[in-house]
């Protein structure tokens, strides 16, 4: 077709921006806990002809013709996902994490129903009941917190549940560095007659790799994104007990969404296959080794880690004793080529846009090959930058050292 051209020949501006972003990723250290690098195979599936198809419905039950091959793609993704997590039922059509969570609520709840979730500044997520989010506006959320030591006290969770009698209990987080006691959550939910919902968006890969405990044997429903520790495309999925399969599927389509993104479904299938390989377990083990090494080094350098360490891929650093805000730290580190995300700390006295902490994670650097030695170097670079956040000369020198380090660990080998 005459109108089909390559990106570089048709839209040089976008082509150049993509090239710049690729180079930035190659030259810099990515420590945002929710980011990772998808493999060339995953990227190839996303940039495929499957983008052209419309497939409302489910395999064998579509509202459009010409979907026989798409049915095979989606079925393959479903079967791989079920095998990966030992799940009874899987829906791979969810477009992203928050819409997946919205579908879960729609499947089990009516507007105004009471739900128990982890408070945002204690490590939870916006979609776990924050007042500015759809979840907090549509449902009556009550929330549990971490204790003074930064760890969830399950007896406190039980006390809140017994008092509030929620219809659903949500377990999961976006900034909590410890493993969760899924079995205890289930026992509490059974005691009050609540549904159990686990949001494992951050730790799905670590669970799939056998490095963290799984909620799947215990919980009624589980949601996750696919682009964090699973290293897949930007998307999501829902797992549930077979008894809830129809209501989950109906909540996704036609409840929340129209046609699925078939090219993303294929990319999810590729990522699930990658996670089923033996080497993925080694990768997950290294993520946690790197996170523990980093947390220990930060504490050695005088930084305060919320909960005193980590069991997973992330940590939240309380910067108040360093007299620097999370926003200032984020901006200073950006100057040296290190990406982190500012983060609230439990009971943060500072406003959300200028919180007291930063969240740091190790999935992306582990993907590119960093091990303990490189993690220690990166931690020392971060400390040096924060101690010299206003010295442009020092920051520039650190940036060059980081670029040199990153050159030894290319993301996409030529």
Query: How far, in Å, are 58, 60, 77, 262, 363 from residue 70 at the CA level?
Result: 10, 10, 11, 7, 31
pLDDT band at residue 5, thresholds of 50, 70 and 90?
confident
HSE value, Cβ hemisphere, 13 Å, CA-based, for 318: 20
End-to-end CA distance of the chain: 31
Task: Note the pLDDT tens digit of each residue in 202-228.
Answer: 999 999 999 999 999 999 999 999 999
Bridge partners for 170 per DSSP: 197
On the question of pLDDT at 134 being above 70, the answer is yes
Query: How far, in Å, are 11, 39, 209, 324, 360 from residue 387 at the CA level?
Result: 43, 36, 37, 9, 18
Residue 124, marked binder: yes
| pLDDT value, residue 11 | 94
Tokens coding 78: 């479903």
* Residue 39 buriedness (CB in 10 A; 0-12 / 13-18 / 19+): middle
Residue 31, marked binder: no
Cα–Cα distance, 107 to 39 (Å, whole number):
33
């990966």: which residue's tokens? 84
- Average pLDDT score over residue span 45-50: 97
Task: Note the pLDDT tens digit of each residue in 339-369.
Answer: 999 999 999 999 989 999 999 999 999 999 9
SS3 label, residue 342: strand
Residue 19, marked binder: no
Count CB-CB contacts under 10 A for residue 324. Answer: 16
Task: Note the pLDDT tens digit of each residue in 190-202.
Answer: 999 999 999 999 9
Active site residue ranges? 54, 56, 199, 225, 228, 234
Count CB-CB contacts under 10 A for residue 123. Answer: 29
Task: Note the pLDDT tens digit of each residue in 170-180.
Answer: 999 989 999 99
Are 185 and 157 contacting, i.e. CB atoms less than 8 angstroms apart? yes
170 φ, ψ (degrees, to nearest 5): -100, 125
| pLDDT value, residue 2 | 60
On the question of pLDDT at 406 being above 60, the answer is yes
* Residue 270 buriedness (CB in 10 A; 0-12 / 13-18 / 19+): buried
Cα–Cα distance, 18 to 192 (Å, whole number):
51
Task: Note the pLDDT tens digit of each residue in 90-132.
Answer: 999 999 999 999 999 999 999 999 999 999 888 888 888 888 8
Cα Rg, the chain, nearest whole Å: 22
pTM across the whole model: 0.95
Residue 120, marked binder: yes
On the question of pLDDT at 1 being above 80, the answer is no
Say which residue, 127 or 152, is predicted with more confidence. 152
Mean pLDDT of the chain: 96
- Average pLDDT score over residue span 371-383: 98
- Domains, the chain, in order of start with CATH, read 26-38+280-407 (3.90.1150.10), 44-275 (3.40.640.10)
C-alpha torsion angle, residues 240, 246, 249, 254 (rounded to 10): -160
Calculate what percentage of the chain has a pLDDT beyond 70.
Answer: 99
Residue 242, marked binder: yes
| pLDDT value, residue 128 | 87
| pLDDT value, residue 135 | 87
H-helix segments, 28-153 = 40-46, 68-85, 97-108, 134-138
């Amino acid at each position: 077709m005459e109108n089909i051209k390559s990106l570089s020949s048709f839209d040089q501006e976008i082509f150049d921006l993509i090239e710049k972003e690729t180079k930035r990723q190659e030259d810099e250290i990515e420590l945002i806990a929710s980011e990772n690098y998808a493999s060339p195979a995953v990227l190839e599936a996303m940039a495929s002809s499957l983008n052209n198809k419309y497939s409302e419905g489910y395999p064998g039950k579509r509202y459009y013709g010409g979907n026989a091959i798409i049915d095979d793609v989606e079925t393959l993704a479903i079967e791989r996902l079920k095998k990966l997590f030992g799940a009874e039922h899987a829906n791979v059509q969810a477009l992203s994490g928050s819409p997946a969570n919205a579908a879960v609520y729609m499947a089990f709840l009516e507007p105004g129903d009471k739900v128990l979730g982890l408070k945002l500044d204690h490590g939870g997520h916006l979609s776990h009941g924050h007042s500015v989010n759809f979840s907090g506006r549509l449902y009556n959320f009550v929330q549990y917190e971490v204790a003074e030591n930064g760890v969830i006290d399950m007896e406190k969770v039980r006390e809140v549940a017994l008092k509030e009698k929620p219809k659903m209990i949500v377990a999961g987080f976006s900034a909590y560095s410890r493993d969760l006691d899924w079995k205890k959550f289930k026992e509490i939910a059974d005691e009050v007659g609540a549904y159990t919902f686990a949001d494992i968006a951050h730790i799905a890969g670590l669970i799939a790799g056998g490095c963290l405990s799984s909620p799947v044997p215990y919980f009624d429903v589980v949601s996750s994104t696919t682009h964090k520790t699973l290293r897949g495309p930007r998307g999501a999925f829902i797992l549930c007990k077979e008894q809830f399969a129809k209501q989950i599927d109906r909540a996704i389509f036609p409840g929340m969404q129209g046609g699925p993104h078939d090219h993303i479904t294929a990319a999810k299938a590729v990522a699930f296959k990658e996670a089923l390989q033996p080497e993925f377990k080694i990768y997950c083990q290294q993520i946690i080794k790197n996170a523990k090494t980093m947390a220990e080094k930060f504490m050695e350098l005088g930084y305060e880690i919320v909960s005193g360490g980590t069991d997973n891929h992330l940590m939240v650093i309380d910067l108040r004793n360093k007299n620097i805000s999370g926003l200032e730290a984020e901006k200073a580190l950006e100057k040296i080529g290190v990406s982190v995300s500012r983060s609230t700390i439990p009971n943060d006295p500072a406003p959300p846009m200028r919180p007291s902490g930063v969240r740091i994670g190790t999935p992306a650097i582990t993907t590119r090959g960093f091990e303990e030695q490189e993690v220690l170097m990166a931690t020392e670079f971060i400390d040096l930058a924060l101690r010299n956040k206003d010295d442009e000369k020092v920051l520039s020198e650190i940036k060059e050292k980081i670029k040199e380090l990153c050159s030894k660990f290319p993301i996409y080998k030529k």
